Structure 1
Amino acid sequence: MTALPDRMRPPRAEGWFAEDLDSLPEAPRHTELIDGALVFMMSPRRAWHGRLVTALTTTLMAQAPAGFEVEREMTIRLDARNRPEPDILLTDLLYDPDRTWYAPEDVKLVVEVASPESAHRDRTVKLRKYAEAGIPHYWCIEEEDGAPVVHAYELDEPTGSYAPAGIFRGTLRRPVPFEINLDLDKLTPPRNA
C-alpha cells in the first residue's frame, strides 16, 4: 500500500468533519466518516452484493409512490463527525443533481447490505447511529445460502432505539415507509450448479 497524500491526512487534531468529505478528491469511492475517522471500502465488492443493490434499488423505485426518491451510495450527514454511506436510502426530497449528502430527517429508510468487511459496522455501529439520528426504518441485509435475508428495524421513538420489525426470507411485506412487497428470491440470480 502506498503512503497517503498529504490531503488525506486529518486537517486538525480532532480528525475529520462531515464537510471535509466533499473536498477529498483523492479519497477512494465509498469513503465514509465514522466518529471523525475515514473508513475506506478497500476490499472488492462481490458480484452478489452489486446485483442485490441494483435489483433492490430498481424494485423499490418501481414501488415508491410519488414523493419518494430512492438513492444508492449517497452519504447521510448524521452529525459533524459522522457521514456514513448506506447502500440504499429512501427520501422524501425531490431529486437534486448537485446533492452530495442527505440530512437524517429527510431519510425514511436506510438499507445496508452486509459484507465480511462491513458486517460489524452494519450490525452494531450503524444500527445505533441511524437510530440516534432519528431515521425511522433500517434494513440490514445478510446473505444466507446465496439468498438475501432482511433484518428490518423500526425506530421506537420513546427510547430512540430500533426495535426489530422482522426477519424476512423469500418475501418481504412492510406497510412502512410505504406499502412494500418484495420477492427476495428474485433479487439475486441463483448460484451456478
Structure 2
Amino acid sequence: MSVDPETPEQEPAPRWPVPPAGGWTADDLDRLPNLPPHTELIDGSLIFVSPQTRFHMRALRFFEWQLESLVPDGLEVMREFTIDIDRLNRPEPDVLVVDEELARGPLQQTRIPAESVRLAIEVVSPDSIGRDRETKPAKYARAGIPHYWRVENKNDRAVVYVFELEPATRVYVATGIFHDRLKVTVPFPIDLDLTTIKPKGLPE
C-alpha cells in the first residue's frame, strides 16, 4: 500500500515507563533511561515538570543568588537537587540550603539526605499548586526539614509564605506572609527586596 506523500507522518507517541508493582523507588530515578530533566518521585510515582514560566525562572535565580550572598559558613545553597526522604519519595525543591557536612558526598552524587536540608523553597507553578501547598510540605515536615518557603505569583509580584517546623508534632507552622520585603532571623538573618523579582518594565 502506497503512502500519500502529501500526508505528513505522525510523530510516535511517547513511551512512558510502566511502573512496577508498588511503584518506583528513589534508586530508580538514577537507573531509568531518558527521563525528562527534574523528574521527581512522589509516593512512588514519577512527576514530570511542565515548561518553566518567566516568573518561575526569575524567582529561582533571585533566591539562589541572594541566599548565596547571605549564607553563613557551613551551609550551602543548592538549586533543583533531589533529596532522599524515603524509599518512595525523592522530591526536588527549587532552592535548598543544606548543611555542607551532612550533604557531603562525591561530585557524582545525584541526591542528598533530607536531614542535611535546613531550608526548602518551592516556587509554585500552575501545575504544582497542590503539590507545593499540601503534598510536598507535609513530606518535608515529616522528614524534619526545619524551614519551608512557598513562593507564589500574585499579579506578577512575588508573595512568600514562610513556615517553621514545630518539632513535637512534625508539622509546619506559618510564621509570616511577605509581599514586598522578606525579613527573617532563621535559619539565618535574611533581608530581601522581593520587588526586584518582577519583570522589568512593570510599574512599582
Task: Give the shorter-chain TM-score range.
Answer: over 0.9
Match of 2:57 among 47, 50, 55: 50
1:115-130 superposed matches below 5 A: 115-130=125-140
| 2:18 paired residue number | 9
Aligned residue for 1:148, secondary structure, equals: strand
1:123 is displaced (CA, Å) by 0.2
1:3-82 superposed matches below 5 A: 3-4=14-15, 8-10=17-19, 12-41=20-49, 43-82=50-89
| 1:156 paired residue number | 166
1:99 is displaced (CA, Å) by 2.2
Aligned residue for 1:105, secondary structure, equals: helix
Match of 2:184 among 174, 179, 182: 174
Runs of 4+ in 1 over 6 A off after TM superposition: none
**For the residues of structure 2 that align with 1:64 and 1:98, how far apart are their CA atoms?**
24
Unaligned runs of 5+ in 2: 1-11
Larger Rg: 2
1:25 is displaced (CA, Å) by 3.2
Query: What value does the CA root-mean-square deviation take over the aligned residues?
Result: 1.6
Aligned residue for 1:129, secondary structure, equals: helix
Aligned residue for 1:117, secondary structure, equals: coil
1:191 is displaced (CA, Å) by 5.0
**For the residues of structure 1 that align with 2:14 and 2:137, how far apart are their CA atoms?**
32
Using structure 2 for the length normalisation, give the TM-score. Answer: 0.88
1:188 is displaced (CA, Å) by 3.1
Aligned residue for 1:61, secondary structure, equals: helix
Aligned residue for 1:86, secondary structure, equals: coil
